[in-house]
Chains A and B, each alone.
Chain A
Amino acid sequence: MKMYRSHILVAEDSKSLSKGAKEIEELISKELRALGLDEEVLVAPTGSLGFEDIGVAIAVYPDGVIYAPVTQNDVPRIIKEHLLKGRIVKELAHEIGKKDVTVTESRAERVLSIQERVLLKRVGVINPESIEEYIAEDGYLALEKAIEKGPQWVLEEVKASELRGRGGAGFPTGKKWEFTAKAKSDVKYVICNADEGEPGTFKDRVIMEGDPHLLIEGMILAGFATGANYGYIYIRGEYDLSIRRLQKAIDQARSYGFLGENILGSGFSFDIEIKKGAGAYICGEETALIESIEGKRGEPRKKPPYPPTCGLWGKPTVINNVETLANVPPIVVNGAEWFKKFGVPGSYGTKLFSLMGDVNYKGVIEIPFGVKLSSIINDVGFGIKGGKKLKGVILGGVSGSLITPNEIDTPVDFNSLALIEAGPGSGSIVVLSEDRCIVDIAKNIAYFFRHESCGKCTPCRVGTEEMYKIIDSISKGFGEVKDLERLDKLSTSMKLTSFCGLGQTAPNIIQQSLRKFREEWLEHINERKCSANVCEFEEIMEEVTNE
């Protein structure tokens, strides 16, 4: 094996690629060749380094320096100074917010001070298109161990880990698997829900782009533990790069004998197919997703029966979120007890979040459950942009919950969040500064749901439209106080009678805002005033009187 003095990793997730990461990689190679360094320094693509929000990022190892954003003009200088002369280009090295960052700190110590990299440990480190690099980093070790120990052991270990689903509902994964494992059927399926349609949520993408084999291995383990021989990855159609890398990973896994007939001589067979979604939010709902795979209109099915016993084509089906499945290989390799060292009782393990909004650092983060929301904002996100005051946090997506500054010290775990009627939901944290208007946010959310309601049931089909109409009129200055009561009643009715989770959760944030930010709503109505200066009030037309 060839040894290199230095490695340059170029973040080539989809966002970075759209910002020219590939061209940067090519330019680096060219510069290295020109300086005769190409035998000493290896350039390789990797997953997200966490800076795609600001531009292309590269990491230079073993120094652990991250340059971001890197432009074409910066490349010759970085190569010449850092790789040839060994001098770090301080002014190009990444600096976050107003914090003075010393560039010699390792990346983990610096940006990731309170993060815990379990799921993302290979992202930004290995080349996601190389199965060899995955294997070199303990990849497919879990599969080997699983085959040695047997399906029942895997199931017990996952149960013992108390892993809870990362898709939103937090259902115990082991329990779900057990239903399917016990169901008697000649055919069973594993579906990975990779539809990731919640606005502001992109944490699954980071796994799929940065470490696709982790998901593949998780799915094989799910199939092994439950007796399923076929898996589908139902993936958001826009996730081009994820689709490409997953397909490559599937092909590689097949050629290595990790997928296909008689895997590693175990007698167990499993294969995976990718199904692209067509952009409907509702298809993230598990039964609508199943309908979609079956070629039907994406609409929720009545439950019961539930998918673990009667899912795809009426067969027992395990359906898990990407992140949930990604948790399985490390649990199998290291054991349930190891897993339970992360997090807190009731919420073990680490959790990925897409940190968004008015914070200085945006991106996908991995934290152990139990870290306070305030710590995520201040220590990981480096505080509010421009030193503004915090208005609130949208946690868990637009169907999640609205957290006020008073609640900001709540630990992020299932049980603590439940006390404030919240949950990790889709895994997104959108931080709102004082510059945001709550009515405007509610309007945006209502607009989204009215667009994405599947139209099956009356409360959601008409309710989302009416919700939008009421909020829209308030935002334009035509609201009345009784509209707030109407909105509240409508929200309650939708929550209670919508057919599926979409309509039941669509009013969550809007209804919470009515209670938590009532003054701001009233200000819009009574004073035609928007303190955040976001809403544009329309003139009230004077009634024309005939003279």
Chain B
Amino acid sequence: MSDLVNVKIDGRPYQFEKGTTILKACKSIGIEIPTLCYLEGIAEEGSCGVCVVEVKGSRTLQRSCITEVTEGMEIITNSPVVREARKTNIELALAHHDITCPTCVRDDNCELQTLARRLGVKEVPFDKIGSFYEKDLGGPVIRDPSKCVYCRRCVSVCENIQNVNALTVAKRGIKTYIGAPFDLRLVDSPCVNCGQCIMNCPTGALSERDDTDKVWEALSDTEKYVVVSTAPAIRASLGELFGLPAGTFVRGKVARALRLLGFKKIFDTNFTADLTIVEEAHELIERVKNNGVLPMTTSCCPGWIKYLEEYYPEFIPNVSSCKSPQQMMGAIVKTYFAEKMGIPKEKIFHVSIMPCTAKKYEADRPEIDASGVKDVDAVLTTREIARMIKEAGIDFVNLDDSDYDLPLGEYSGAATIFGATGGVMEAALRTAYEMLTGETLEAVDFVEVRGLEGIKVSDVNIDGVNIRVAVANSLGSASKLLEKVKAHEENVHFIEVMACPGGCIGGGGQPIPTNDEIRLKRIQALYKDDSERKIRKSHENPYIKQLYEEYLGEVGGPKAHHLLHTHYTPRSPWEALEKVSLNK
């Protein structure tokens, strides 16, 4: 009983557990206090001053998000003083906000807009204050300081969840600046382009670089043969942007919509996810058999790859040399598919639909192209393709299903779960088991590596050999795991890293909002798809077999190596800064 405190909220008595914030206490009794800067577990700093309440005996109003209930506290959540104060703080935020709602990428999905409406702000009774800083353009992540409300959620997620530290607070007062440190642009900062800052931004201050114009242009170019491939996670999330519940499986509608947009071929990145697994499982087995560098880590997440190159270059030999499914698709489309169809690779324009902003960066990496031309010509996020579908007037919700095109449209259940944290690990284990033992794996579900925990470790017995695997969910978790590996506190053979919490279903290009509840629903949709597939192991995908037979030759062979594998470069997180100081 001593853990309970008695409080009065709006005159009524309640009991709450000690340590509960006023915000949570109120929520539990049905009072939704408005918040702007607050994001549970990520930003709890009380900067915006919107969630204030009256506490009897207190000289000032109290921030409900960071103030805990105490014995005898009397809280008033709705009074003229409270309403006026909340409204004033929204008005002040709006005074220093470039109000261009109709042209803003976050129109109708903006927390500031929602609050202004909810709190009855009808005008901004203060002088407009313009932005002191230019847009930070150039990379996949765009920052528009004129839209910033200084909630610092982006800084917090970059620092505390991702451990990347590409965003910081500089200057002070009205000239406070949120962005990369030392006046760098994000592209010159340690930013790994994961886009989690975008996912946590309440306004349009952070967004992805919009590449839709490039794709529209290609689609209307009669000289171009425009093909598209879609990532595993898209099928579990795109529907949300058209009002469907989170976790609605929309693969068929995606294919239909893309056909209607005019793409010549609709391919599934799941196909090359299967290809990745075949190559990667092979690589793992080779390393285990031949005393190669272990633990091996996955390589399909471009945010992780840049993070590793910057902060853990000593682990470069540990990373699988396999390209990501996107880049494997790019290479296969412009070689195998082009040759098969008799279309010059120069004519093919390959668009990749990804839940991810870092994929834009990955497609532009100079060492990545294998076909002789750019393997992936444009990368669109889930949000961007939704905008194109809307612009074209396609009634997404009521579309009938279409299928993907063969041979690059078939996939196994193992491929589809790539979109969830632990999915790549599970897919690899299914194939590695059979490659190592030559026996059929009956129980294909490795549930130990599923779920939203930061680090999942599991022992898998394959033919009497214990394979210890670990899954890192977010870069912060990856960092913790690698530190343990460095300190020999954790001895594992194989590590999966996904930069974004929840894996690609929580990627930086996904619908906003994305929270744990939504993440789990999207994940569920993928596991359901997996469980319903006839083929659930990557190496059993018949078109993968056909690809090797017709074109690639041996798994891990020279041609496969040339097209499907890559290398990494150590880089300082402060590369750009070092160049500047050298010049000086």
CB within 8 Å of B: which residues of A?
280, 282, 297, 302, 450-459, 461-466, 469-470, 486, 489-490, 493, 495-499, 504
- With a cutoff of 8 Å between Cβ atoms, the chain A residues found around residue B512 in the complex are none
Task: Name the CB-closest residue of B to A462.
Answer: B92
CB distance from A455 to the nearest CB of B (A): 3
- Beta-carbon contact of A497 and B49 below 8 Å: yes
CB distance from A82 to the nearest CB of B (A): 53
Task: Name the CB-closest residue of B to A469.
Answer: B127
- With a cutoff of 8 Å between Cβ atoms, the chain A residues found around residue B172 in the complex are 280, 282, 452-455
- Please tell me which stretch of B83-91, B205-213, B354-362, B518-526 contacts chain A, meaning at least 4 of its Cβ atoms lie within 8 angstroms of it: B83-91
Closest 3 CB pairs of A and B: A455-B176, A462-B92, A493-B88
| Additional 18 contacts, C-beta under 8 A, given A280-B172, A462-B174 | A450-B173, A450-B174, A455-B172, A458-B49, A458-B149, A459-B49, A459-B92, A461-B173, A462-B92, A462-B95, A462-B126, A465-B174, A466-B126, A469-B129, A490-B126, A493-B84, A497-B60, A497-B85
- With a cutoff of 8 Å between Cβ atoms, the chain A residues found around residue B81 in the complex are 496
Most B CB contacts (10 A, CB to CB) among A280, A495, A497, A498 go to A497
CB distance from B99 to the nearest CB of A (A): 14
- Beta-carbon contact of B129 and A462 below 8 Å: yes
The number of residues on chain B lying at the interface, defined by a beta carbon within 8 Å of a beta carbon of chain A, is 33
Contact pattern, B 110-146, Cβ under 8 Å of A = 1, otherwise 0:
0000000000000001110100000000000000000
- With a cutoff of 8 Å between Cβ atoms, the chain A residues found around residue B126 in the complex are 462, 466, 469, 486, 490
Query: Which of B50, B60, B63, B174 meets A461, CB within 8 Å?
Result: B174
CB distance from A421 to the nearest CB of B (A): 12
Q: Does B5 contact A (CB under 8 A)?
A: no
- Beta-carbon contact of B93 and A458 below 8 Å: yes
- Beta-carbon contact of B150 and A497 below 8 Å: no
Interface of B is mostly: loop
Q: Assuming A302-B45, A466-B95, A497-B61, is B173 touching A453 (CB within 8 A)? A: yes
CA distance A67 to B111 in the complex (A): 68
CA distance A302 to B173 in the complex (A): 18
- With a cutoff of 8 Å between Cβ atoms, the chain B residues found around residue A453 in the complex are 172-174
- With a cutoff of 8 Å between Cβ atoms, the chain A residues found around residue B46 in the complex are 302, 457, 499
- Beta-carbon contact of A499 and B47 below 8 Å: yes
Contact pattern, B 440-468, Cβ under 8 Å of A = 1, otherwise 0:
00000000000000000000000000000
Task: Name the CB-closest residue of A to B152.
Answer: A456
Query: Which of A297, A457, A493 meets B48, CB within 8 Å?
Result: A457
Q: Does B96 contact A (CB under 8 A)?
A: yes
CB distance from A198 to the nearest CB of B (A): 17
CB distance from A493 to the nearest CB of B (A): 4
- Beta-carbon contact of A458 and B150 below 8 Å: yes
Q: Does B171 contact A (CB under 8 A)?
A: yes
- Beta-carbon contact of A456 and B47 below 8 Å: yes
CA distance A463 to B85 in the complex (A): 12
CB distance from B397 to the nearest CB of A (A): 38
- Beta-carbon contact of A455 and B171 below 8 Å: yes
Q: Does B485 contact A (CB under 8 A)?
A: no
CB distance from A369 to the nearest CB of B (A): 23
- With a cutoff of 8 Å between Cβ atoms, the chain B residues found around residue A497 in the complex are 49, 52, 60-61, 85, 88-89
| 23 A/B residue pairs, CB under 8 Å, sorted by A | A302-B63, A302-B66, A450-B174, A451-B173, A452-B172, A453-B174, A454-B173, A455-B150, A455-B172, A455-B176, A457-B47, A458-B93, A458-B149, A458-B150, A461-B173, A462-B93, A462-B96, A464-B173, A466-B129, A486-B125, A493-B84, A497-B61, A499-B49
- Beta-carbon contact of A458 and B174 below 8 Å: no
- With a cutoff of 8 Å between Cβ atoms, the chain A residues found around residue B150 in the complex are 455-456, 458, 461
- With a cutoff of 8 Å between Cβ atoms, the chain A residues found around residue B175 in the complex are 455
Query: Which of A282, A302, A456, A458 meets B89, CB within 8 Å?
Result: A458
- Beta-carbon contact of B49 and A504 below 8 Å: no
- Beta-carbon contact of B174 and A464 below 8 Å: yes
Q: Does B406 contact A (CB under 8 A)?
A: no
CA distance A463 to B127 in the complex (A): 11
CB distance from B105 to the nearest CB of A (A): 23
CA distance A499 to B89 in the complex (A): 12
Q: Assuming A495-B60, A496-B52, is B88 touching A490 (CB within 8 A)? A: yes
Interface of A is mostly: helix
- With a cutoff of 8 Å between Cβ atoms, the chain A residues found around residue B125 in the complex are 486
- Beta-carbon contact of B174 and A496 below 8 Å: no
CA distance A131 to B84 in the complex (A): 58
- With a cutoff of 8 Å between Cβ atoms, the chain B residues found around residue A466 in the complex are 92, 95, 126-127, 129
Q: Does B260 contact A (CB under 8 A)?
A: no
Task: Name the CB-closest residue of A to B50.
Answer: A458
Q: Does B169 contact A (CB under 8 A)?
A: yes
Most B CB contacts (10 A, CB to CB) among A457, A462, A466, A495 go to A462
Task: Name the CB-closest residue of A to B96.
Answer: A462
CA distance A196 to B45 in the complex (A): 27
CA distance A292 to B254 in the complex (A): 53
CB distance from B124 to the nearest CB of A (A): 10
- With a cutoff of 8 Å between Cβ atoms, the chain B residues found around residue A470 in the complex are 127
Task: Name the CB-closest residue of A to B89.
Answer: A458
- With a cutoff of 8 Å between Cβ atoms, the chain B residues found around residue A499 in the complex are 46-47, 49, 63
CB distance from A26 to the nearest CB of B (A): 43
CA distance A452 to B96 in the complex (A): 18
CA distance A106 to B123 in the complex (A): 66
- With a cutoff of 8 Å between Cβ atoms, the chain B residues found around residue A302 in the complex are 45-46, 63, 66
CB distance from A288 to the nearest CB of B (A): 11
Q: Assuming A493-B85, A496-B52, is B61 touching A458 (CB within 8 A)? A: no
Task: Name the CB-closest residue of A to B170.
Answer: A297
CB distance from B411 to the nearest CB of A (A): 48
- With a cutoff of 8 Å between Cβ atoms, the chain B residues found around residue A504 in the complex are 60
- With a cutoff of 8 Å between Cβ atoms, the chain A residues found around residue B169 in the complex are 297, 455
CB distance from A401 to the nearest CB of B (A): 15
- With a cutoff of 8 Å between Cβ atoms, the chain B residues found around residue A493 in the complex are 84-85, 88-89
Task: Name the CB-closest residue of B to A503.
Answer: B49
- Beta-carbon contact of A465 and B85 below 8 Å: no
- With a cutoff of 8 Å between Cβ atoms, the chain A residues found around residue B52 in the complex are 496-497
- With a cutoff of 8 Å between Cβ atoms, the chain B residues found around residue A463 in the complex are 92
Task: Name the CB-closest residue of A to B176.
Answer: A455
CB distance from A56 to the nearest CB of B (A): 38
CB distance from A384 to the nearest CB of B (A): 34
CB distance from B23 to the nearest CB of A (A): 13
CA distance A195 to B175 in the complex (A): 23
Task: Name the CB-closest residue of A to B92.
Answer: A462
Contact pattern, B 171-210, Cβ under 8 Å of A = 1, otherwise 0:
1111110000000000000000000000000000000000
CB distance from A520 to the nearest CB of B (A): 23
CA distance A69 to B85 in the complex (A): 54
CB distance from A487 to the nearest CB of B (A): 11
- With a cutoff of 8 Å between Cβ atoms, the chain A residues found around residue B85 in the complex are 493, 496-497
Task: Name the CB-closest residue of B to A489.
Answer: B88
CA distance A504 to B172 in the complex (A): 17
CA distance A390 to B251 in the complex (A): 80
- With a cutoff of 8 Å between Cβ atoms, the chain B residues found around residue A297 in the complex are 169
Contact pattern, B 146-179, Cβ under 8 Å of A = 1, otherwise 0:
0001100000000000000000010111111000
Task: Name the CB-closest residue of A to B171.
Answer: A455
- With a cutoff of 8 Å between Cβ atoms, the chain A residues found around residue B96 in the complex are 461-462, 465
- With a cutoff of 8 Å between Cβ atoms, the chain B residues found around residue A450 in the complex are 173-174
Task: Name the CB-closest residue of A to B126.
Answer: A466
- Beta-carbon contact of A452 and B89 below 8 Å: no
CB distance from B45 to the nearest CB of A (A): 7
CA distance A452 to B174 in the complex (A): 10
Query: Which of B60, B61, B89, B129 meets A465, CB within 8 Å?
Result: B129
- With a cutoff of 8 Å between Cβ atoms, the chain B residues found around residue A455 in the complex are 150, 169, 171-176
- With a cutoff of 8 Å between Cβ atoms, the chain A residues found around residue B88 in the complex are 459, 489-490, 493, 497
- With a cutoff of 8 Å between Cβ atoms, the chain A residues found around residue B129 in the complex are 462, 465-466, 469
Task: Name the CB-closest residue of A to B82.
Answer: A496
CB distance from B358 to the nearest CB of A (A): 28
CA distance A499 to B432 in the complex (A): 56
- With a cutoff of 8 Å between Cβ atoms, the chain A residues found around residue B48 in the complex are 457-458
- With a cutoff of 8 Å between Cβ atoms, the chain A residues found around residue B66 in the complex are 302
